[in-house]
Structure 1
């Protein structure tokens, strides 16, 4: 890291009181097999619901995901799907491939402020996943899709509910996210935004429209190593 970048991080994070983390493909790397497992369960849920072939339903699944922020929101809005049943089903996955990340845990623990998880998934999924990573004890709370009344990121209402519930000044908060569009609204509110993206030569199970180069105006910082970036924050 250059001296200039270190100074930029020091300046930006000197005001930060609350550190907010997305869960999937952010706290654990996008190279993990966990999100593809969940993605497959979403498709299976839709096969059971509609009885169509998987190819047709994958297209519908991604349409809802892009339009509503989550497939669930689309299914609730257009088909009246029971949210609790959906969340139980799609998050019923094997997390044994996730191992405790001691470096990440130490980096999060060293942050001088509040730490929260903001996810479009369920609280149970976030708890189980954070526990597998060995970081569950480091977070004050988890704000999930249920707490957001099923309004998903990137909708402004989801962030407003989050900021309000936890009495967060967005201008003194930092948000770590793997999807660039989920940083737009917080950035407008003054939040310091960090895009967590995989290395350019690494294959991941992401949609093409989700892949950002980090040059977007609502992205303040970019990292491919979350733990190392957090260490640079506390080193400054």
Structure 2
């Protein structure tokens, strides 16, 4: 790991490693908004409900299936599609039908994004509509040049290399001039291999740490912060 910022709100550290960057790529959930608002916990709960209802299993078994699919396929949806032939639309509509009241607009995030030179993209394993809703609630939707969602990636999710191939095709970004911000450490392995600068948004919430921290000590994690706005302000 080439750098670590446990608390970017402390004395700013300028990062020459980002001087070449002209494409800024942000995951959505638990990255653009703070994990402590527990928005993704709602999505996680609804994924379990969907599996229980569709596969006619109890919630314990639904949770086991959900975790199994995440580990083996990258996302729960990918597992449902691969092993049960499930259409993605109903799943995405159901799990993203959540209460956004827990997400507050962030003028600080808006200002930090506005200062970044070049283009900015949201790259998410969720739906385009969900990304629009959340970014709109944050007050930052207009700061982005595009949203590359799971449908745009032909339902190939991060961390699979194919997802990043789709992203680069849609965004026309030069991976060697890009930076990727992501709360799930293993999702930074391919960006590192492609030559991107990588920033892991560290999540301290107990419900999220099991999957988010996997692979956190690998060389693919270049920078670490638990404060996205504070980190962007150092750039």
Q: TM-score, normalized by length of structure 1?
A: 0.92
Structure having greater relative contact order (Cα 8 Å, sep ≥ 6):
2
| CA displacement at 1:65 relative to structure 2 | 1.1
- Equivalences for residues 153-192 of structure 1 within 5 A: 153-192=158-197
Residue 197 of structure 1: which of 179, 202, 205 is its match?
202
Distance in 2 (alpha carbons) for counterparts of 1:132 and 1:86 = 22
Q: How does 1:1-236 map to 2 (within 5 A)?
A: 6-7=13-14, 9=15, 11-198=16-203, 202-206=204-208, 208-212=210-214, 214-233=216-235
Deviation at 1:94, TM superposition (A): 0.7
* Offset from partner CA, 1:67-117 (integer Å, 9 cap, x none): 111100100011011111111111001101111011111101111110000
What is the CA distance between 1:18 and its match in structure 2?
A: 0.3
Aligned length: 226
Deviation beyond 4 Å, 4+ runs, structure 1: none
User: Which deviates more from structure 2 when the two are superposed, residues 168-177 or residues 215-224?
Assistant: 215-224
Q: Write the distance in 1 (CA, Å) between the matches of 2:67 and 2:214.
A: 18
- For residue 199 of structure 2, give the secondary structure of its aligned residue in structure 1: strand
Note the aligned Cα RMSD (angstroms).
1.6
CA contact (8 A) 2:22 2:178 kept: yes
The answer as to whether partners of 2:122 and 2:146 remain within 8 angstroms in 1 is yes
Question: Following the alignment from structure 1 to structure 2, what is the Cα–Cα distance between the partners of residues 149 and 139?
Answer: 21
Map Cα deviations across residues 5-27 of structure 1 (whole Å, 9 max, x no partner).
Answer: 835x1x21110010000000000
Q: CA deviation at 1:213?
A: 7.9
Rounded Cα–Cα distance in structure 2 between residues aligned with 1:172 and 1:152 = 22
SS where residue 96 of structure 1 aligns?
helix
Structure 1 residues not aligned, in runs of 5+: none
* 3-state secondary structure, aligned to 1:20: strand
Q: TM-score normalized by structure 2?
A: 0.92
